[in-house]
């Protein structure tokens, strides 16, 4: 247990150490148009001038929760979804193929849910640390853009209620409180009230920051992981942009909160506002960003 505590201290020190190298630029963000903000985000995150995205990836973190263990409909839905993804027959596979991107599904014991957080701690120290470490190991330096999302029974519900701790207007049947989150208490709170996939996303966000990889957080669980990290050190998530969940409108309290707290919120890429399963937004954003860079480079060169 002492070894685990030391590793938690290392993660804490890592979070504390990360800072934005050019904080003065933040003052200029409101003056930028949408394309300028996206280019600034990509260039800062990658620590270089980004003219194209060559090796994008959609990363899906799959886990389930004890409070949803009796929801047979959800369990069957995600079991069928994973089977379709693995066989290449899901709509997500098609969108990723069109985006010419890589798709990775990371299974965090999806068939073995966390403990029911309504009755006690969701997991122990080792499970918390292992899920964070696993998330960090999923980041590979050859990728130059990652869209991250989560699937699984209870994943969206937990993501929603964590987001609701910070953002008005998000309805949730679950009650989970994250008041006064700090580096001193965050690991004990996550052990009590989080999930394997949220902690894996927590680790993946940190690792992507260290590897200079721009990251899109898509869906409630991924956004929740980003919000938790922002409470601990806002400069840890400067490489992240937000793809709003499909049930959120452009005029929502969620978008207003995120933009007021310096998040880049990407415009909806869905054709005809079509609602779809988790993670499809992320794939569509990869395709949209690749096209934006192609057009910007072409017309920018023409203008020059």
Instruction: Specify the pLDDT at position 303.
Output: 53
Instruction: Specify the pLDDT at position 203.
Output: 96
Q: How far apart are CA 145 and CA 213, in angstroms?
A: 6
Q: How far apart are CA 175 and CA 79, in angstroms?
A: 26
For 53-303, the fitting CATH number among 2.60.40.1120, 3.40.50.10210, 3.40.50.2300, 3.20.20.70 is: 3.40.50.10210
Confirm if 143 and 191 have CB atoms less than 8 A apart. no
**Which one, of 272, 252, 266, lies nearest residue 222 by Cα?**
266
Tens digit of pLDDT for each residue in 134-166? 999 999 999 999 999 999 999 999 999 999 999
Instruction: Specify the pLDDT at position 273.
Output: 62
Instruction: Tell me the two tokens of residue 166.
Output: 């910070």
The residue assigned the tokens 């793809």 is: 243
Instruction: Specify the pLDDT at position 1.
Output: 35
Q: How far apart are CA 180 and CA 102, in angstroms?
A: 38
**Which residue ranges of the chain lie beneath pLDDT 70?**
1-6, 20-27, 249-251, 271-278, 300-304
Tens digit of pLDDT for each residue in 277-292? 567 888 899 999 999 9
The domain segmentation of the chain, as residue ranges, is 53-303
Instruction: Specify the pLDDT at position 62.
Output: 96
């Amino acid at each position: 247990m002492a070894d685990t505590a030391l590793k938690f201290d290392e993660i804490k020190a890592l979070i504390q150490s990360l800072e934005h190298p050019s904080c003065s630029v933040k003052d200029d963000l409101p003056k930028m148009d949408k394309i300028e903000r996206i280019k600034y985000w990509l260039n800062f995150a990658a620590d270089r001038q980004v003219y194209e995205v060559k090796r994008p990836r959609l990363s899906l973190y799959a886990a389930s929760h004890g409070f949803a263990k009796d929801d047979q409909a959800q369990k069957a839905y995600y079991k069928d979804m994973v089977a379709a993804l693995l066989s290449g027959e899901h709509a997500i596979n098609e969108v990723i193929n069109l985006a010419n991107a890589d798709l990775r599904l990371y299974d965090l014991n999806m068939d073995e849910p966390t403990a029911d957080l309504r009755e006690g701690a969701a997991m122990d120290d080792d499970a918390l640390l292992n899920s964070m470490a696993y998330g960090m190991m999923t980041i590979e330096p050859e990728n130059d853009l990652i869209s991250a999302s989560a699937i699984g029974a209870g994943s969206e519900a937990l993501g929603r209620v964590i987001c609701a701790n910070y953002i008005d207007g998000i309805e949730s049947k679950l009650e989970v409180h994250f008041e006064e989150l700090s580096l001193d208490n965050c690991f004990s709170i996550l052990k009590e009230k989080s999930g394997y996939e949220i902690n894996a996303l927590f680790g993946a966000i940190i690792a992507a920051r260290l590897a200079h990889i721009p990251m899109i957080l898509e869906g409630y669980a991924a956004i929740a992981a980003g919000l938790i990290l922002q409470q601990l050190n806002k400069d840890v998530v400067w490489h992240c942009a937000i793809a709003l969940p499909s049930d959120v409108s452009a005029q929502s309290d969620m978008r207003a909160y995120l933009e007021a707290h310096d998040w880049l919120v990407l415009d909806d890429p869905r054709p005809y506002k079509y609602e779809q399963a988790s993670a499809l937004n992320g794939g569509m954003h990869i395709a949209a960003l690749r096209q934006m860079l192609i057009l910007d480079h072409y017309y920018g060169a023409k203008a020059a």
